[in-house]
Amino acid sequence: NTQFWKIYDVFFGAIAGLSENELRVLLHMMDINKSKGGGTYNRPLTVIADEARVSVPTVNRAVKKLKKRNLIIRYWLPMEISGNRKC
């Protein structure tokens, strides 16, 4: 059983210039997403650093670069809180 993968040049352009440790952060995030079966990754920078075995400043730099290159997007979900709801 043979699988074929197609990776677009845009992806290589987006990751060009990332350090080895910054690439490690990206690959770690992609691996966690794959295992969860979704496109959402929600962990603190300190946890990502620990899991990817890099420093927190490296994770911060990687996230900033990946956001700037549109490889990751941060969404804020509005939440409504009501004190008198009955369950």
Contacts of residue 51, Cβ cutoff 8 Å, sequence gap at least 6 = 28, 32, 43
Place of tokens 């290159």: 69
Q: How far apart are CA 43 and CA 30, in angstroms?
A: 13
Tell me the per-residue pLDDT of 61-78, one tens digit each, with 9 for 90 and over. Answer: 998 998 898 888 765 555
CA atoms within 13 A on the CB side of 35: 7
**Predicted confidence (pLDDT) per residue in 7-62, tens digit:** 778 888 888 999 999 999 988 888 876 656 566 667 788 988 999 999 999 999 99
Is residue 76 a contact partner of residue 29, using CB atoms and an 8 Å limit? no
Please give the pLDDT value at position 25.
Answer: 92
82 pLDDT higher than 90: no
For the segment 3-7, the average pLDDT, to the nearest whole number, is 74
CB count in 10 Å sphere of residue 80: 5
